[in-house]
Amino acid sequence: MKTKHSGIIRLAIGLPLAAAVFAAGLPTTTAVAQEATKEAPKEAPTPAPPGIRLRTTAVRAAAAQAAAEAQAAAQDAKPDDAKKPEAADKDKEKSDKEKADKETADKAKEAEAAEVPKGPPADPEVLRIHLMDGSLISGKLATKEIVVETQFGNLHVPVLSINSFTPGLRSHPKVEQNISELIEKLGSPVFGEREGAQKALSQMGPVVRLQLERAANDADTERKSRIKTLIDEFDQIEEDAEEVEGGAPRGLIDRDTVETTDFTVVGKIAQESFDIVSRYGGLSVKLSDIKRVERENTAKEALKKVVTVEGANIIHRGMKDSGIRLEKGDKVTVTADGSIQMTPWGNQAVSSPEGMSNYGWYVQGKIPGGALVGKVGSSGSVFKIGSKYSFTADRSGTLQLAVAMQNDFANQQFPGEYKVRVNVKKK
């Protein structure tokens, strides 16, 4: 019996040794099972009993399963590159693509930075000099300080500490004299002179309020009445200006005003002229020719103002000066509302800022009667504003406003007014 079952004993021993044989680098369990299978018939030439045969079949199946598991474990133990060369190639390709994409993005950022270089910081010494004739100069003052004579003594103010300075009426003797003469003419016995003087003062705007208030109690009844009318008009303008950014224009005072980074000085600027260094060369400007000087980086980028255009401001009688100085390239938006009574067509006829062809034409087919119109400077062309209009100034000058009307009705009365809101974005 020992001889007949020796093959079975050897197979049973071989199973637990399979892992050890594989680990030692010796023939696998499969080889052992094959060897056992070959040797079994020699040692058991006679068929084994059914029970023994079943056991042998189970052992062989177990051996085959152990061999398959060992082979799978060996395959798993190999490096990933050897296990899946195609996946490794794909991973490498993906990595190379990501690297190339990053390099492309970096180059694009560099190119963008090169196309939009950062501009140099604003020169702190450059000033904007507004002249009385409406001209604008940018440059540096040759002097390093401004001397201001005050009641407490002379004050030396470094130019780099100045935000702005505005010469007063005493530095503009011609302007002061002109205002005095216009106020005097308000009481002229000649109706045309009274009307002309009131119109001129109205066009100057609230800046002449102080001079008018000084003469408000004049003994002349006509002059007193007209001064009151002008002050009431300025009150309305200032009230409207409070609703928008910037407020009403500052009034003219007798003395010069110097605004510094820390405080404001009021007095008399001692220098009668200034040498200015600009990119076009040197210039010499009298103090009496300067309207205002301001630091370039503190200049307002936008201006908003409300102007009242009355029915009496018919274009044939002269346009109303809005007091808004435009520079070539400024972007302007104007909106308007209100109404005026078109009396030649009856008391019930009214017009909006758009005007109507029923009221005739100022410019045939383009600008109807009753329409709000404007122009830039004294030599600019008249254009229709209507209820809303946006444009870019093609020249420098003050914005003028009026009501368009057919020439035949220029001398008629047109009660009412348009409220005009002007928004200027400086170039």
What three-state secondary structure class fits 131?
strand
Alpha-carbon span 260 to 265, nearest angstrom: 8
β strands within 10-152, DSSP E:
127-131, 136-141, 145-150
* pLDDT score at 17: 40
pLDDT, block means (10 residues), the chain with 427 residues: 43 41 42 45 48 49 61 53 53 65 58 44 78 87 93 92 90 90 94 93 86 90 93 76 47 85 92 90 91 72 84 92 90 94 91 94 94 92 95 92 91 92 88
Rounded-to-10 torsion of CA 267, 264, 130, 203:
-80
What three-state secondary structure class fits 334?
strand
Burial-class residue 190 by CB neighbours within 10 Å (0-12, 13-18, 19+): exposed
Looking at domain 301-425, its CATH class is mainly beta
Q: Parse the chain into domains and list their residue ranges.
A: 6-80, 127-297, 301-425
Strand partners, 285: 274
Cα 382-388-392 angle, rounded to 5 deg: 55
DSSP, res 126: -
* Angle, in degrees to the nearest 10, between helices 173-185 and 191-204: 140
Cα 375-302-370 angle, rounded to 5 deg: 30
What three-state secondary structure class fits 324?
strand
Alpha-carbon span 292 to 144, nearest angstrom: 18
Cα 281-286-291 angle, rounded to 5 deg: 100
Characterize 345-372 residue by residue with b for buried, 16 or more Cβ atoms within 10 angstroms of its Cβ, and e for exposed.
Answer: beeeebbbbebbeebbbbeeeebbbbbb
* pLDDT score at 227: 93
Alpha-carbon span 349 to 170, nearest angstrom: 49
Q: In this structure, which long-range contacts are made by residues 220-224, counting pairs with CB atoms below 8 Å and at least 24 apart in sequence?
A: 220/186, 220/187, 222/186, 222/187, 222/194, 223/183, 223/184, 223/186, 223/187
Instruction: Give the predicted TM-score (pTM) of the model.
Output: 0.42
Q: Which helix (H) or strand (E) holds 403?
A: strand 397-403
Characterize 205-227 residue by residue with b for buried, 16 or more Cβ atoms within 10 angstroms of its Cβ, and e for exposed.
Answer: bbbbbebbeebeebeeeebbebb
